[in-house]
A and B are shown apart, each in its own frame.
Chain A
Amino acid sequence: MKKQDFKLFPGTYLQGKWNGHQYKVIRKLGAGACGAVYLCHNLQGEKVALKVGKDSSRMMLEVNMLKKFSKVQGVKLGPAFIDVDDWKAPSLQVFPFYVMEYVEGVPLSDFLRGKSKEWIGICTIQLLTDLEHLHKAGFVFGDLKTDNLLMSNSKVRWIDVGGVTAIGRAIKEYTEFYDRGYWGFGSRKAEPSYDLFAVTMIMLEMVQPNKFEKGAHPRRTLAAKLASSNDLKPYHSLIAGVWKGKFQSASEMKQALSYIVMKRAKGTPVSRKQIKAQKHSSDWGELLALSAVAGVFCGFSIFSFWI
């Protein structure tokens, strides 16, 4: 039995069959592999994101993940879970849906447009911080890609946790461009390093938004792309290290990246960081002068005591 495709128009009311909650459709936010996401108002008039699909098992697995990862160890990872239910359409067909927090934000590429290049490092560090928490909880993100990210108040947020997989299992969803298996850099087993590879591909995409295919020699294609991107120069050895499997955890990669980001601040000509650094050095000067004065004074007092 195949379900018909459906379209929800602004103004439509959806009511859950089990919980009875009602939602009013405002507009479509996007469509994914197994359903479409709509911006809705709940009865209180608050904005929520509602996903309707056809495959009820798959939708339920997403809900299970969402419940788990709205909060891991007190850290907000995915959008907060609100409700799960079935909707009986006017056609009498039943469609599963779930409701989650509406994350307001802009796509990563829009956010980075016109921003200084140091944001590449900063966004990546943010991403790695979230991954650190997820990995510690025993899961990998799986289908990590820019489409699944939003910048909300200058902070990276995940908006789709459907690919989250328990460590040690097979990655259940992936997108070839971000998949290390596709590029010949390892297996599709859910390991923290699987996500780290995807992070490097997101970094590549941050500086050159055009995706490319693997060609006859996938590893060589990647190496050439990396070598040709000037904006990623400070990160070349880090990224190559990830590809070689040098990093086993998000923490390790984050540490290495933080080191680069900090170090780079000294070299850039006029940035806020450098002003800060200069301020730092003048602080140093003051301290030095102060201790010299104190030293002289101390010497003088000893001298006078000795007299």
Chain B
Amino acid sequence: MKAGRLKQILLLTDGCSNHGEDPIAVAALARNQGVTVNVIGVLDDRQKEKPQGLEEVESIAEAGGGVSQIVYQKSLSQTVQMVTRQAMTQTIQGVVNKELQEILGEGQSIEELPPATRSEVVEVVEDLGEACELEVLVLVDTSASMQHKLPTVKEALYDLSLSLNARTGSNQFSIYTFPDVKHTIRRVIKWTPELGEINGVFSKLSSGGYTPTGPALKEALYAFTEKPIFRSIQDGEDPYEETGF
């Protein structure tokens, strides 16, 4: 089995969507297109209770075949890399399970294999996770309540690049923010293998009030699929074949 290319959208937000189409539906669409959606809900360090509307975080990730976490700012770095890696493993496991079902019949999965066989399969999954190519589109909610969290977000994204670039497989990152008055989302960093110096990225304030998570996700999906599809046509391969979608 060859290590393929995995695509993820990582959504960082702190509230509920209140504008435009349903983000859960868009996430389901993304999953269908071979793009996993992960969501991290960022809490204030002083916040005692989970604010209302953050259940949406879990629902979006679930529909998008990804992983969700609600965390305080101070553990954002570790969470961002953990969520990304977990989602990678999850996707690869999904593909392997599908293959297993084809070989062994319906209802078979890694969990149900006898320990000796399972032991070998998990090593294969681990190897694929280390070697596969990964593309992460980071979508950051920059509405008013997120403003003071943005320095932490910046740090966490740098940390993410540090973690992923220790892998053997190559990485591509890009960063978008929302809302943007004209285009719903705004690209602040185009595809790059490393998120080193990202100073000044979130400098521009967005006009607060509305959080169009759904439309933003959809734009991200467009932005995402444009490049890889173009490239894979050039490569002459089906972009979803390897990830099993």
Enumerate chain A interface residues (CB-CB to B < 8 A).
18-19, 56-57, 60-61, 63-64, 84-86, 94, 96, 168-172, 176, 181-182, 187-190, 213
Instruction: Show 22 A/B contacts (Cβ-Cβ < 8 Å), sorted by A.
Output: A56-B110, A56-B118, A57-B118, A60-B122, A61-B122, A61-B123, A64-B122, A84-B119, A96-B111, A169-B130, A170-B130, A170-B166, A171-B166, A172-B85, A181-B159, A181-B162, A182-B77, A182-B159, A187-B162, A188-B162, A188-B166, A190-B166
Contacts of A84 in B (CB 8 A): 115, 119
Tell whether, in the assembled complex, residue A176 and residue B167 are in contact, meaning their CB atoms are under 8 Å apart. Answer: no
Contacts of A86 in B (CB 8 A): 115
**In the complex where A170-B163, A188-B163 touch, is A60 in contact with B168 (Cβ < 8 A)?**
no
Find the B residue at minimum CB distance from A62: B122
Tell whether, in the assembled complex, residue A187 and residue B115 are in contact, meaning their CB atoms are under 8 Å apart. Answer: no
CB < 8 Å neighbour of B123 from A64, A94, A171, A187: A64
Find the A residue at minimum CB distance from B169: A170
Distance between Cα atoms of A169 and B163 in the complex (Å) = 11
Distance between Cα atoms of A64 and B122 in the complex (Å) = 9
Find the A residue at minimum CB distance from B96: A57
- How far apart are A43's CB and chain B's nearest CB, in angstroms? 19
Distance between Cα atoms of A20 and B107 in the complex (Å) = 23
Number of interface residues of B (CB under 8 A): 25
**In the complex where A57-B125, A61-B126, A176-B77 touch, is A181 in contact with B163 (Cβ < 8 A)?**
yes
B164 at the interface (CB under 8 A from A): yes
Complex A-B, nearest 5 residue pairs according to Cβ-Cβ distance, in ascending order: A170-B166, A188-B166, A170-B167, A189-B166, A60-B122
- How far apart are B240's CB and chain A's nearest CB, in angstroms? 23
Distance between Cα atoms of A96 and B77 in the complex (Å) = 30
**In the complex where A170-B130, A187-B162 touch, is A85 in contact with B115 (Cβ < 8 A)?**
yes
Tell whether, in the assembled complex, residue B168 and residue A169 are in contact, meaning their CB atoms are under 8 Å apart. Answer: yes
5 new A-B contacts at CB < 8 Å, known A57-B125, A170-B130: A60-B119, A84-B119, A170-B167, A181-B159, A189-B166
